[in-house]
Structure 1
């Protein structure tokens, strides 16, 4: 790439304007890190919350903040357009679900959205709604975005597209070559409806500092009677890299798989210390960064799949998912700062053992206080996935690391499903179902996505195993099931038969967590955790009824009373006859 890097100057402003509340939002991310700036570029976003929605302000702020943060977390090997579409699909999905929590006629979380990414010698943009992006070059102004509005009359028009409006997001995406001196203006309709293009072109053509230009555009809108919020971002390209990344990107998307590695070998500045794990699908190595001395785990794809495009896509997405999730209870994927010559990614090194190994070496059953502590940590890790619209889908003791201090971390992103991405690519086809039969929701294994409820099933199964001393709620027969009819034959086994101290209300919580009927299973992790830690009154009522119905002591007491009364009657009749 040489020593010449992309250089920009910019000014941004978001003001309440002529309204009582500012429902606009702006954000920018210009990385200081040279690697990020080179491989991901600089990111700018502007959103205008829909004023007729209950939560337009929250929607606009969430959209710009999440986009500028998460775009930079996408893999280097993804194109700008693909990265932006992936991120916006997840944001749209989240806003859409939040919007449908409202029962009123208003729409909830809706916002227009415009993003500009400047990378190497190219400008890329993604847009939906009626905020605008203008490009100025050599005194000529052009509008790059389309207004997604439908005009009914001179006074009446309505917004046809917005983030959060539909389950599928229809973006306008395009790109153009950059030149030194190019200027870009992102603005809400508080500017575009009250300042005409002639005046905008005049202002952008002047030599004044960008901050002065943005303030004058704001004031001009107010002078022209603006009754809306006013937001704008003005960017100028002051320096471009010496060569385009196009050819390099083509190379990155076709990175070769690393060869089999062994101790002492070096790869892109990482020295292999030992092999940690190997399977037919991937390899894990403990490596040392030669620059910092830090130990990391390097995950490589298996050479068995070097011609499998779907496998490669899923492997690359593992890194992206890991970079987006930030939790003390989830392994951290490490953002790399050196170019890669092979396909792999890095994770933090966890000097521990799997929960499966640790639990196998413990006296059974373990103490209830310890078991519930472990379950709560796993649940906290899962919540981090769910906040990002992701479902783990393969939660099991073998994918959880137990550390020396008693804390846990969820690992392995290979089966993670991210809501909202199905519209961008066709669902991946697999010869075998994702997940592990003993812990994964049967709905997954039969090809149906049960979402959060699937992770609840896995957590409840692990909780059952911890409290019962190593048993499974449906026994080993669950691993032999292949069809829906097979699962219909399964019957829940009370955990109390393996651990007599388990009360009925606690067992009912476990049973509800692993119910094969989704309508009977918990809908949230918090509901499940609450019922594990304090008796659910509904379960206590069932317990009382059950005791009255099945208490063997009560049965024998009643039977003895019957025979005693019968004996008294016989004696009385006998005495009468005398």
Structure 2
């Protein structure tokens, strides 16, 4: 078999045959699996380009077609499926009496750069200059500042067509903080991997950006914190609908192997259509990328799961604990246990109806599970949490209590059986 690559109108064989012609034009294998105790493996690596076409052919195909004939067939076929069938048919027409195998793969698009590539490409970019209304940067015109903190700034900008978007820039305070700047690059890389209606969309950067920034979509709305202030008397059903959307967004994050790490009302937006959007991925942890996760600051104390304060790595369950705190605050206007979550290990959740008589009683059971002190006793994932909010559920005892109870039952049965066995032996 051979692997070929068609690039820039040139078909190139990337492999070397493990066979040789000897004697009367007889072909013999020089290397084969199982032919020796040792197997030498050929390996090579090369960059992909959009438009590359790769072929895998057996000698029943390339043994009966010239390189130029194969190249012409692939170019004329257009589609990989058509090219594969045409190559086999052409080899048969040329007298091939061998097994014919052919696969054709066309590169239509490439994935985003890896995390290391993103750091290498953007990590050395300078910080942007101070931005103010009217300044032009890489084709964007700054309209106004949306937000500023000691770590970052958000600016509303417009492109040449007048379409609004947002530039997020690192604060000048981070100029000498290499770790913080790397986390800023990683935040942009994470955002480019996320595709969901309830997550902030990261937009493509211009070619060869002049400085370090993120290009984000503009969300016309307010934070959940502000939305709750503007709608103090909204019905419980509408708040639960927002909670349902929030859990859909968290589920999409977790399915992408991303833990948000700082879920709170200020990092959740509600747009003018009532759509919930999760923003700010600066504290995200990516599973399998521990080398980039190190040094990420903890989330906001009032919304962080208790195990995070003990140094346990963030998890899906710690995100779900934060969501439960947010839902409790949405429904009651207060934090569970007044924010002292160490009490959750010893005290049941106070009834929400003491703050809001319109909250259904079964919501107490749902949040009691989601706010368990031990992560393994909470909901297993966002979908389970979301489904529990959609219909009444019974209270669920912690798993460890069930295990202990069952262990005691079996111990009791074992003791009874032991006594009966002794009696049986003694009476013989």
Alignment match, 2:395: 539
Check conservation: 1:214, 1:234, Cα contact below 8 A.
no
**Is 1:174 equivalent to 2:41 in the alignment?**
no
Q: Give per-residue Cα distances to partners, 1:66-90, cap 9 Å, x unaligned.
A: xxxxxxxxxxxxxxxxxxxxxxxxx
- CA displacement at 1:446 relative to structure 2: 3.5
Q: 1:396 to 1:250 in 2, by over 3 A?
A: closer
Question: Structure 1 residues 185 and 375, CA, compared in 2 at 3 Å: closer, same or farther?
Answer: closer
Deviations 1:23-77 (A, max 9, x none): xxxxxxxxxxxxxxxxxxxxxxxxxxxxxxxxxxxxxxxxxxxxxxxxxxxxxxx
Residue of structure 2 equivalent to 1:32: none
Structure 1 pair 490/134, CA: closer, same or farther in 2 (3 Å)?
Answer: farther
2:104 to 214, 232, 243: 232
TM-score (structure 2 length as normaliser)? 0.70
Deviation of the 1:257 alpha carbon: 0.5
Residue number in structure 2 paired with 1:318: 187
Give the distance between the partners of 1:508 and 1:345, measured in 2 at CA. 41
> Displacement, 1:386?
2.7
Tell me which of the two structures has the higher relative contact order, counting C-alpha pairs closer than 8 angstroms and 6 or more residues apart.
Answer: 1
How far 1:467 sits from its partner (Å)?
A: 1.4
The equivalences for 1:131-280 within 5 A come to 141-143=13-15, 153=34, 174-175=45-46, 186-187=54-55, 191-192=57-58, 195=60, 202-203=66-67, 208-211=72-75, 214-215=84-85, 217-219=87-89, 220=91, 223-226=97-100, 230-233=102-105, 253-280=123-150
Q: Give structure 1 stretches of 5+ with no counterpart.
A: 1-129, 161-171, 236-248, 543-578
Q: Is the 8 A contact 1:266 1:272 kept in 2?
A: yes
Contact 1:464–1:473 under 8 Å retained in 2: yes
Maintained 8 Å contact 1:473/1:495? no
- Three-state SS of the structure 2 residue aligned to 1:430 is coil
Distance 1:415 1:208, change over 3 A: same
2:336 is aligned to 473
Count of paired positions: 359
Instruction: Find 2:198's aligned residue among 314, 329, 340.
Output: 329
Which of 502, 505, 525 is 2:362 aligned to? 505
Question: Which residue of structure 2 aligns with residue 65 of structure 1?
Answer: none
Could you tell me which residue of structure 1 aligns to residue 313 of structure 2?
Answer: 449
Comparing both structures, which one devotes a greater share of its residues to strand?
Answer: 1
The structural deviation recorded for 1:134 is 5.5
Q: Which moved more, 1:325-334 or 1:439-448?
A: 439-448
Q: What whole-Å deviation, never above 9, does each CA across 1:166-221 have from its counterpart, x for those lacking one? A: xxxxxx7733799xxxx976345xx35x5587668x42586634246755543449
| Alignment CA distance shift 1:152-1:443 (3 Å) | farther
Q: 1-side partners of 2:2 and 2:228: how far apart?
A: 56
Three-state SS of the structure 2 residue aligned to 1:280 is coil
Q: TM-score, normalised by structure 1?
A: 0.54
CA RMSD of aligned residues (A): 4.1
Shift of 1:521: 0.3
1:527 pairs with 2:364? no
Q: Is the 8 A contact 2:195 2:201 kept in 1?
A: yes
Structure 1 residue 383: Cα displacement: 2.6
Task: Give the match's secondary structure for 1:286.
Answer: strand
Residue segments in structure 2 that go unaligned for 5+ positions in a row: 19-30, 77-82, 108-118, 399-428
C-alpha deviation, 1:256, in angstroms: 0.5
- Given that 1:135 and 1:143 are in contact with CA atoms closer than 8 Å, whether structure 2 keeps it comes out as no
Partner residue of 1:339? Answer: 208
Partners of 2:3 and 2:38 in 1: CA distance:
17
